[in-house]
Amino acid sequence: MPRSKPRNPAAPKKAPLPPSAAPVRWSILVPFLAVLLLVAAGLRIYGSTNDLWLDEIIAINTARQASSPLDIIATNRTPPGSPLRLDGQHQLYTLYLYAVGPQSESFILRIPSLLAGIGTVLMAWLIGRRRDLSCAMFAMLLVGFSYVLVLYSSEARGYALGVFFSFVAFYALDRYLENSRWPFAVLFSASVVLGLLAQLTFVCFYLAAIAWCAYRLIRSRAGAKRMLTVGLWCHAAPLLFIAWLYDAHIRDMGTVGGTPSPSLIHSYGTALAWALGPPSTDVLIFVACVVAVAALYAGIARLWREKADAFVLYLGVILVFPILLIAARGSDIVYVRYFLVSIAFLLLLCSVLLSALYRRGRLGRLACTLLLVAFVASNGGQMATFFQYGRGQYREALRYMKEHAERSPVVIGGDQDYRIGTQLQYYAPTVMGAGAWQYIRHGTWPPEGPEWLVCQRESFEPAVPELPRIEDGRHTYEFVRTFPTAPLAGLHWFLYHNQSVRGSDDR
């Protein structure tokens, strides 16, 4: 008789789950999952075809500042004040932008995020399948059709990479602690290193993973040898890399500018609300936030009742460490995207709840169906807006100014020189032509003033101009047209025309 393999003392005791009511029909399930993956990929591919917005252009310009790839990783080699030293610099993605060159098409510039987004959907299936089939399906649905994840999976920034590597690391660590196979430990370590290079908010996941790993080992009464083995295999390389990264990048790192947020708690609550994809109104965001908090509590409580130690990781990555680290950062600029990893894990936790509800019979399956329809409808409405407006319509605005200009070259001013000037310098040469436009910074306006004035607002602000006309003491600028952006990304642009220019009255 063959010997049975000894059970790993650190492996958790999984709670027994009720058997499925019917056997799995793989002939139906596999095509359904393939279609689901193709649709999720299609959403991300289509979202990758719109205009680059300010943050992406800044990332491209930052990559141009590097004289070698080492400058991007070890930013202490660069002069003080260099864009490479800012916390908005996503090093892994900057390396890619440096490699492909700044003049590539927007779709090419977004390929790493696109692949990471599709990979995240696949990882959601694998993570859910560790629990049961229904959990895997719900996880894939929620992650695949989340507006927030679609948005950042089609943007030339490191946020989607951070989510992907956090999912891979979660899966790998769970497998290693269960069977002690070294390839999973190596995969976990590599994912942590890459995740930290992708986006520094990844550290929230890693701290939660350390707490989860320690809790599992202590709870299983693992001996000192086992703890040392896990520590060396899983955490030695990441901790050494963090020490090096702190010395090479974090210690002298500056912070990016932006519009101050109302408060940390407000921003965190809004992020939880966007996990469910609500319309961007204050009342519905509040309702969605309450529902998200209830789901977080119910999910943690269920894992606790099942004696599943993963509740430590979910609690840490969704609630504890994001708030602590953002508070320690000490900046009054907090965006929803800083909590993107937390949003992704909240969706995984919701899949656990939906799976439990689904197994409660006919009424439970009906409730799951209604909840999923509401989720897809809410996120689908936001995606329709995203596909309509993209991350702003900067090329369209430039074409409008070119076609309706009374002077040549087209003279443009803005209410914020850095933001407007950066985007104009990227798009105007190709849209208007070299020498056919000029941007005039504040303090250098000629007596006749610029013909066009561009004003901007953040995506979370109303897409309406603050004033119907603007006067600078010598000229009157009449509002002409709005070029809006989708929620959570891009900038609204408002065009004003100088009324002192002949022929503008008919506008």
Q: Where are the beta strands (DSSP E) in 366-474?
A: 410-414, 437-439, 452-458, 469-471
In this structure, of 52-56, 189-193, 474-478, the range with the lowest mean pLDDT score is: 474-478
74 conformational bin, left if phi > 0, alpha if psi -120 to 50, beta if neither: beta
Q: What is the dihedral of CA 461, 463, 466, 470, to 10 degrees?
A: 130
Mean pLDDT of 148-154: 97
pLDDT band at 42 (very low <50, low <70, confident <90, very high): very high
Measured CA angle at 198 (ends 193, 202), to 5 deg:
70
Distance CA 366, CA 364 (A): 5
Distance CA 57, CA 424 (A): 10
Distance CA 230, CA 237 (A): 12
Q: Looking at residue 86, what is its pLDDT? A: 67
- Cβ contacts of residue 218 below 8 Å, gap of 6+? none
Q: Where are the beta strands (DSSP E) in 349-503?
A: 410-414, 437-439, 452-458, 469-471, 476-483, 491-498
Distance CA 147, CA 486 (A): 11
Question: Does pLDDT of 263 surpass 50?
Answer: yes
Give long-range contacts, CB 8 A cutoff, 24+ apart: 235-241: 235/189, 235/210, 236/189, 237/189, 237/192, 237/193, 238/189, 238/192, 238/193, 238/196, 238/206, 241/192, 241/193, 241/196
pLDDT band at 87 (very low <50, low <70, confident <90, very high): low
Question: Does pLDDT of 11 surpass 70?
Answer: no
The structural domains of the chain, with segments of one domain joined by +, span: 26-389, 394-498
Between 3 and 399, residue with greater pLDDT:
399
The average confidence (pLDDT) of the chain is: 88
Q: What is the DSSP secondary structure assignment for residue 319, as one 8-state letter?
A: I
Number of DSSP helices (H) and strands (E) in the chain, helices first: 21, 6
Radius of gyration of the chain (CA): 25
Chain-centroid distance, C-alpha 188: 21
Distance CA 156, CA 47 (A): 11
Mean pLDDT of 164-173: 98
For 360-381, letters b (16+ CB in 10 Å) and e give: eeeeeeeebeebbeebbebbee
In this structure, of 222-231, 308-317, 341-350, the range with the lowest mean pLDDT score is: 222-231
Return phi, psi of residue 453, to 5°: -120, 125
Instruction: State which H helix or E strand residue 153 sits in.
Output: none
Mean pLDDT of 298-327: 94
Distance CA 208, CA 314 (A): 8
pLDDT digit string, tens, across residues 245-256: 888 877 776 665
Q: Looking at residue 76, what is its pLDDT? A: 67
Mean pLDDT of 248-272: 73
Burial of 426 (0-12, 13-18, 19+ CB in 10 A): buried
Mean pLDDT of 282-306: 93
Instruction: State which H helix or E strand residue 295 sits in.
Output: helix 282-305
Distance CA 67, CA 462 (A): 40
- The one-letter code for the residue type at 431 is V
- Cβ contacts of residue 403 below 8 Å, gap of 6+? none
Q: Looking at residue 507, what is its pLDDT? A: 38
Distance CA 463, CA 445 (A): 27
Distances (CA, A) of 192 to 11, 166, 248: 21, 7, 17
pLDDT digit string, tens, across residues 299-311: 999 999 999 999 9
